[in-house]
Chains A and B, each alone.
Chain A
């Protein structure tokens, strides 16, 4: 009658994922156009390591963790396996902020204007979502408010692209939105890392609430869950972590959808355990995708957002076929 899996499964799963994430991080540090290894001896090697590979690996690990965790948290809160971080409008807001920074020409004069513009956009989007959806009420109001804010951001981004006099600025906006970990400095890492970490901290404490919400809102509240507090933590945690991540790297799609999906069966479908598992899984996916990009780079300069979309779309098709088989009479 006891379930030994209940005790050893979480520890083994998380330890395994952590080991894989560490491996992916080291791989990301070791691989680049200048060859395999932690940099040739001398000033150039040291420069490559500190200025190029370390920021890239750190960002990959943090952004992947953020997207995986936020995806798992939103799927758990909304009790919808199709939810992903961009659903509540924060990535759209961040993209709009960055696009405006380019459009208004601030990005050309001030290097940090892009990430700061992205952050301000993400915060504005979060406030708009909270104002629209309120702190009471069910998941559906949150989804609708997120869609409304996303739609507004998309419309304004199109307007900025349309009005752009300078074709180079337009191309810069489009490239930025495809998402990239390349050519980011340690300054950008230090700017975004604290916000991502705080946001992830807010989401990680939600494990119990998400487990309880498995039984529906009334049962969860009767188990001692604070419904308003949970909603506030979900929105604030996603906005801070995903907002900061998107502000620095642009939009890297599908990670938040794909990672929780892939890991859910391994966690016994428990939404609480899925949070740390998806955090690690997101890191692994983004770090490995970025390593793969550097391996194909001599032939094609691909952006990571494009690659994750290329991985994500077939995954989605597989999901459709699997669901169809399950629902077949």
Chain B
């Protein structure tokens, strides 16, 4: 299912945070939203998850604006992973992953075989089988991140939106996460992430949307977006896209004066 923003404007607390954003995240692709702190990445992702209304323009999933989506149907198609890794009570990891099945269950209904299969596949994919009985509140940031991502995967969505999913992960789990997201997208799913890690974006994403001050600076394939000029404008850094040993990455030398 395609995720789109068309002329999307969003006001938060009287301030215009998004100023006419155009974006399309296609099924089968891993799309990243990049931009400096405060550029509007989280607001863009929340609007594209249908969590905040557009003040002008629209955000759509599968060519349907969010206001036209019934709540339950939307939750079965789209999973959203917030940046804050909040878990309020001392639930076990297994119980947290199980919350991803809520949209597929009716009130008071016990877990079905399909629920259990989805939960176990998500646990396997995020490599948290050894953590399932532990309370999430006691986990390290990286472990918690994997549990919460497994919750979103257990939802079995057609489109996944994740805000900074790699933050706090060690290098091995960052690689595993992006390999998994790539495979997930390859099965025809739409994956949209906000990222700060430029090398990860260069290496794994099919498409990059670079935003600055609530508007799209440029978008397209990593090699075309992550140029010296664009990176300088978006982040005030002297950096460029390189391929080393067949791996695409971004090297940054210094901040711009």
Please report A residues at the B interface, Cβ cutoff 8 Å: 1-3, 6-7, 79, 205, 207-208, 211-216, 218-219, 221-226, 264, 268-271
Which residues of chain B from 139 to 170 have a CB within 8 Å of any chain A CB?
148, 151, 155
- The answer to whether A1 and B151 touch across the interface, beta carbons within 8 angstroms, is no
Known: A3-B94, A208-B102, A224-B72. A216 touches B78 (CB 8 A): no
- The answer to whether A224 and B91 touch across the interface, beta carbons within 8 angstroms, is no
Q: How far is the CA of A5 from the CA of B135 in the complex (A)?
A: 15
Which residues of chain B from 82 to 102 have a CB within 8 Å of any chain A CB?
82, 84, 86-92, 94-96, 98-100, 102
One of B4-12, B26-34, B103-111, B193-201 contacting the partner: B103-111
- The answer to whether B80 and A214 touch across the interface, beta carbons within 8 angstroms, is no
The 6 A-B residue pairs whose C-beta atoms are closest, nearest first, are A224-B75, A222-B80, A216-B86, A269-B89, A79-B88, A269-B90
Q: How far is the CA of A212 from the CA of B100 in the complex (A)?
A: 9
Known: A221-B51, A226-B71, A270-B91. A1 touches B82 (CB 8 A): no
Residues on A with beta carbons closer than 8 Å to the beta carbon of B132: 1, 3
Q: How far is the CA of A24 from the CA of B162 in the complex (A)?
A: 50
- The answer to whether B49 and A222 touch across the interface, beta carbons within 8 angstroms, is yes
Residues of B in contact with A, size category: 35 or more
Residues on A with beta carbons closer than 8 Å to the beta carbon of B46: 218
Q: How far is the CA of A92 from the CA of B74 in the complex (A)?
A: 41
- The answer to whether A1 and B99 touch across the interface, beta carbons within 8 angstroms, is no
Residues on A with beta carbons closer than 8 Å to the beta carbon of B81: 219
Residues on A with beta carbons closer than 8 Å to the beta carbon of B95: 3, 6, 268-270
Question: Which one of B72, B79, B107 has the highest number of Cβ atoms from chain A below 10 Å of its Cβ?
Answer: B107
Q: Does B133 contact A (CB under 8 A)?
A: yes
Shortest distance between the CB of A139 and any CB in chain B (Å) = 11
- The answer to whether A1 and B72 touch across the interface, beta carbons within 8 angstroms, is no
Residues on B with beta carbons closer than 8 Å to the beta carbon of A264: 89
Identify whether the interface residues of B are mostly helix, strand, loop, or mixed.
mixed
Q: Does B221 contact A (CB under 8 A)?
A: no
Q: How far is the CA of A1 from the CA of B122 in the complex (A)?
A: 12
Q: Does B129 contact A (CB under 8 A)?
A: yes
Q: How far is the CA of A207 from the CA of B92 in the complex (A)?
A: 17
A-B contact pairs, 5 of them (CB 8 A): A6-B94, A207-B107, A218-B82, A219-B86, A223-B99
Known: A6-B98, A214-B89, A224-B103. A1 touches B111 (CB 8 A): no
Q: How far is the CA of A264 from the CA of B105 in the complex (A)?
A: 23
- The answer to whether A224 and B89 touch across the interface, beta carbons within 8 angstroms, is no
- The answer to whether A222 and B75 touch across the interface, beta carbons within 8 angstroms, is yes
| A-B contacts besides A215-B88, A223-B103, A268-B91, 9 pairs, CB < 8 Å | A3-B94, A208-B107, A213-B88, A216-B88, A218-B49, A218-B80, A222-B50, A268-B95, A270-B89
Known: A6-B95, A219-B80. A224 touches B102 (CB 8 A): yes
Residues on A with beta carbons closer than 8 Å to the beta carbon of B238: none
From the candidates A214, A268, A269, name the one contacting B99 in the complex (CB within 8 A).
A214
Nearest A residue (CB) for B42: A218
Q: How far is the CA of A226 from the CA of B105 in the complex (A)?
A: 15
Shortest distance between the CB of A100 and any CB in chain B (Å) = 39
Residues on A with beta carbons closer than 8 Å to the beta carbon of B123: 1
- The answer to whether B86 and A223 touch across the interface, beta carbons within 8 angstroms, is no
Shortest distance between the CB of A228 and any CB in chain B (Å) = 11
Nearest B residue (CB) for A205: B107
Residues on B with beta carbons closer than 8 Å to the beta carbon of A6: 94-95, 98, 111
Shortest distance between the CB of B1 and any CB in chain A (Å) = 15
Residues on A with beta carbons closer than 8 Å to the beta carbon of B127: none
Q: How far is the CA of A222 from the CA of B76 in the complex (A)?
A: 9
From the candidates A7, A205, A208, A211, name the one contacting B110 in the complex (CB within 8 A).
A7
Shortest distance between the CB of B125 and any CB in chain A (Å) = 13
Q: How far is the CA of A159 from the CA of B75 in the complex (A)?
A: 52
Q: Does B183 contact A (CB under 8 A)?
A: no
- The answer to whether A269 and B82 touch across the interface, beta carbons within 8 angstroms, is no
Q: Does B120 contact A (CB under 8 A)?
A: yes
Residues on A with beta carbons closer than 8 Å to the beta carbon of B110: 7
Residues on A with beta carbons closer than 8 Å to the beta carbon of B72: 224
- The answer to whether B135 and A269 touch across the interface, beta carbons within 8 angstroms, is yes
Q: Does B116 contact A (CB under 8 A)?
A: yes
Q: How far is the CA of A29 from the CA of B105 in the complex (A)?
A: 40
- The answer to whether A223 and B155 touch across the interface, beta carbons within 8 angstroms, is yes
Shortest distance between the CB of B18 and any CB in chain A (Å) = 17
- The answer to whether A222 and B78 touch across the interface, beta carbons within 8 angstroms, is yes
Q: How far is the CA of A225 from the CA of B105 in the complex (A)?
A: 12
- The answer to whether B79 and A222 touch across the interface, beta carbons within 8 angstroms, is yes
Shortest distance between the CB of B243 and any CB in chain A (Å) = 37
Residues on B with beta carbons closer than 8 Å to the beta carbon of A213: 88
Residues on A with beta carbons closer than 8 Å to the beta carbon of B80: 218-219, 222
Q: How far is the CA of A174 from the CA of B129 in the complex (A)?
A: 58
Q: How far is the CA of A212 from the CA of B79 in the complex (A)?
A: 13
Which residues of chain B from 26 to 81 have a CB within 8 Å of any chain A CB?
46, 49-51, 71-72, 74-76, 78-81
Residues on B with beta carbons closer than 8 Å to the beta carbon of A212: 99, 102
From the candidates A7, A207, A214, A226, name the one contacting B87 in the complex (CB within 8 A).
A214
